Amino acid sequence: HCFNIESEAELQRINEIAINNSQVAPISIRVNPDVNADTHPYISTGLKENKFGISMEKAIQLYLHAKKMQGICIKGLDFHIGSQLTSIRPILDALDRILTLNDQLLSRGVTIEHINIGGGLGVTYNDEIPPTPDELISAVKGKLRGSGLKIVVEPGRSIAANAGILV
């Protein structure tokens, strides 16, 4: 589908490899929206102090840089704020910030095709009551209505966590 970029060095390397192989690499940049996922601190990935993704401030410059690269084709905008989420509110808060960033990119001539909202929906281990995938997607579709943007989701834990047992 595309490479999810998390640093300028990674973008440079993928561009070099693509050019050396007479290819154009589709990319998406993972942005850190600085949103508290209200989950355990060890599995939180969406706050400014977390190590994952490009800051909102640096993302525009990295997209503008990527736009000029011969071996790169910009496809998307990604975020992932953490795991074991029991509310969709943090995801929607992050999406609001990402949509604002998308508007800023559009005003600078950078067009994306999809937004990857990551994953992180929780599962029931004890007494948690996580939202259903349908509840999440319905809310996200409501925010993206009329934008023409595709939704990409990485469901992970919500599919696999309760799929079996360890004997």
Q: Phi and psi for 124 in degrees, rounded to 5?
A: -90, 110
Q: What is the pLDDT of residue 26?
A: 98
- The Cα–Cα gap between 154 and 120 comes to 8
Q: What is the pLDDT of residue 59?
A: 96
Q: Longest C-alpha distance within the chain, in Å? A: 55
Q: What is the pLDDT of residue 38?
A: 56
Burial of 42 (0-12, 13-18, 19+ CB in 10 A): exposed
Q: What is the pLDDT of residue 37?
A: 59
- The Cα–Cα gap between 35 and 129 comes to 21
DSSP string, 1-31: --EEE-SHHHHHHHHHHHHHTT--EEEEEEE
DSSP string, 32-78: E------S-GGGB--STTSSSSEEHHHHHHHHHHHHT-TTEEEEEEE
* pLDDT in 10s for each residue of the chain, 167 residues: 999 999 999 999 999 999 999 999 999 999 999 886 554 454 444 444 545 689 988 999 999 999 999 999 999 999 998 888 889 999 999 999 999 999 999 999 999 999 999 988 888 888 988 898 899 999 999 999 999 999 999 887 778 787 777 77
Of 24, 110, 2, 113, nearest to 69 by C-alpha is: 24
pTM, 2 dp: 0.84
Q: Phi and psi for 105 in degrees, rounded to 5?
A: -65, -45
Q: What is the pLDDT of residue 145?
A: 93
**Terminal C-alpha separation, the chain:** 36
CB 157 within 8 A of CB 121: yes
- The Cα–Cα gap between 88 and 101 comes to 20
